[in-house]
Amino acid sequence: GALGGVGLGLWRWQQAAMAASEGDEDEKEEEELRQRFMAPPVSGLRELRRRRRELRSRMELLIMETQGEVCRALAALDPGAAFAVDTWERKEGGGGISCVLQDGEVFEKAGVNVSVVFGLLSEEAARQMRSRGKSLKAKDGKLPFCAMGVSSVIHPKNPHVPTMHFNYRYFEIEEADGTKQWWFGGGTDLTPTYLNEEDAVHFHKTLKEACDKHDLKLYPKYKKWCDDYFYIKHRGERRGIGGIFFDDVDSPSKEEVFQFVKSCAKAVVPCYIPIVKRHCHDSFTPEEKLWQQLRRGRYVEFNLVYDRGTKFGLLTPGSRIESILMSLPLTARWEYMHTPPESSKEAEILEVLRNPKDWVH
C-alpha cells in the first residue's frame, strides 16, 4: 500500500511536470505569435488556440500574420517612419487593428487593416448579397454573420513606384435552419503611374505561381475577373494593370479554398517589395508628380463609386469610417479636361488601362 502511494505520488508529480512543461510550451508559442503580430488578435490568443482547428480561428491567425509580415516589410524600406497601431472595438461585436504609416520618405500613406466583426447583417447589406445571387433565409428578419479580413492600400511618394492594394477575407452567415453559408474573397492588384513592363511581368508572374500551386485555371480566370472588376465605367479605363480578384468562392472545399487564400496572402510581399526597392530612389520631375496626383484621383473615383468592400463597410452598422476610407491617398488632384499628349509616357499607361494585356505569356 505504501509503495502504491509512492507510485501514485510519482505519477501525479509526472502529470504535474508534463502539465507545467505544456504550460511553458503554450507560453512560448504565445510569445512567438505575439512577436509576429502588430497587436493582440481581436478574438484573443487563448481563444484562438483553444479553437485552433476551426477554420475561423485559422483564418484570423492568417490575417494577423499577413498584417505583421507586410507591415514589417514596408517599415524596413522606410526606417524613418513608424506605423501607428490603432486597436478598435465594434459595440455590435468584434473589432479590428488598423496600422497606418503616413508621410514617410518612401510611403506617403500605407495602411494595413485587420477586422473581425460579427453580429446581425443589416437589411441593406443582405440586399446587396442577394443581388449577387445569394439565397439567404433569415429568421425573424435576422441573419447572424461573421466577417474577417486583411486589407491594405499602399500609396508611395515616388511616381515610379506603383500603388498596391490587396485584400483577403472570409464570410460566414447562419440561416434560419442553422445551416451556414460561407465563402472567401480577395485579390492583389497593382496601380502604376507609369508603365514598367518588367515590374508588371514580375507582379503577375508571382501571383500566377501562387495560383498555379492549386489549379492552373485559377490565374487566367481571376486575372480576367480583376480586369473586369476594377473598371471605371464613366472613364472607360481600369484602375490599374490588375492582378487577381475573386469573390464568393465556396468550392471545392473549405480547406482547399483556405489553402489557396493562404498562398495568395503569402505572395503579397514577394510580388510587391522588390518593385518598391527597385524604384523608390528614382529621380522624378514635377510633371511626373502631377500625373501621379491625377491618377490618384481616378483611384478615389473607383473606391467611392464602385468598390464593393467600401460600400459594404459603409452599410454595416457600427463600421469604422476611418478604417474604410484608409484606402484613399493623402493627396490627389482633379483637373478639368486633362488629356496627355499623344505618344507620351502618360498616354502609354492609359492605353494599357483601356486595353488590358496578358503579362505572363
Task: Write the CA distances from 81 to 78, 84, 93, 123, 162, integer angstroms.
Answer: 6, 10, 32, 42, 19
Strand 180-191, strand 107-120: pairing: unpaired
| Most confident of the ranges 37-41, 77-81, 282-286 | 282-286
**Integer Cα distance of 149 and 169 in angstroms:** 4
Whether the predicted pLDDT of 32 surpasses 90: no
Residue 31 φ/ψ, nearest 5 degrees: -65, -40
**Integer Cα distance of 295 and 160 in angstroms:** 12
Q: Please give the pLDDT value at position 235.
A: 95
Whether the predicted pLDDT of 154 surpasses 90: yes
Average pLDDT over residues 222-236: 96
Q: Please give the pLDDT value at position 137.
A: 74
Whether the predicted pLDDT of 10 surpasses 70: no
Alpha carbon of residue 149 to chain centroid? 6
Contact 101, 74 (CB under 8 A): yes
Q: Band the pLDDT of 100: cuts 50, 70, 90.
A: very high
Amino acid at 101: L
Average pLDDT over residues 264-279: 98
Q: Band the pLDDT of 9: cuts 50, 70, 90.
A: low
Task: Write the CA distances from 91 to 77, 86, 95, 119, 170, integer angstroms.
Answer: 36, 16, 8, 10, 21
Average the pLDDT over each of 135-144, 202-211, 331-340 and give the range with the smallest value. 135-144
Q: Please give the pLDDT value at position 21.
A: 61
Whether the predicted pLDDT of 342 surpasses 90: yes
- Pick the more confident residue, 311 or 204: 204
CB atoms < 10 A from the CB of 342, how many?
6
Residue whose C-alpha cell reads 493582440 in the numeric block: 40
Whether the predicted pLDDT of 173 surpasses 80: yes
Average pLDDT over residues 46-52: 89
Q: Which of 48, 135, 128, 171 is nearest to 308 (CA)?
A: 128
Whether the predicted pLDDT of 34 surpasses 90: no
**Integer Cα distance of 114 and 51 in angstroms:** 19
Average pLDDT over residues 139-155: 88
Q: Band the pLDDT of 4: cuts 50, 70, 90.
A: low
Q: Which residues are known catalytic residues? A: 165
**Integer Cα distance of 117 and 172 in angstroms:** 11
Whether the predicted pLDDT of 17 surpasses 70: no
Whether the predicted pLDDT of 41 surpasses 90: yes
Whether the predicted pLDDT of 96 surpasses 90: yes
Q: Please give the pLDDT value at position 12.
A: 66
**Integer Cα distance of 6 and 229 in angstroms:** 72
When the pLDDT of each residue in the chain is averaged and rounded to a whole number, the result is 90
Q: Please give the pLDDT value at position 58.
A: 95
Q: Which of 248, 252, 241 is nearest to 357 (CA)?
A: 241
Return contacts of 219-222, CB within 8 angstroms, 24+ apart. 219/244, 219/360, 221/246, 222/187, 222/246
**Integer Cα distance of 100 and 102 in angstroms:** 6
Q: Band the pLDDT of 334: cuts 50, 70, 90.
A: very high
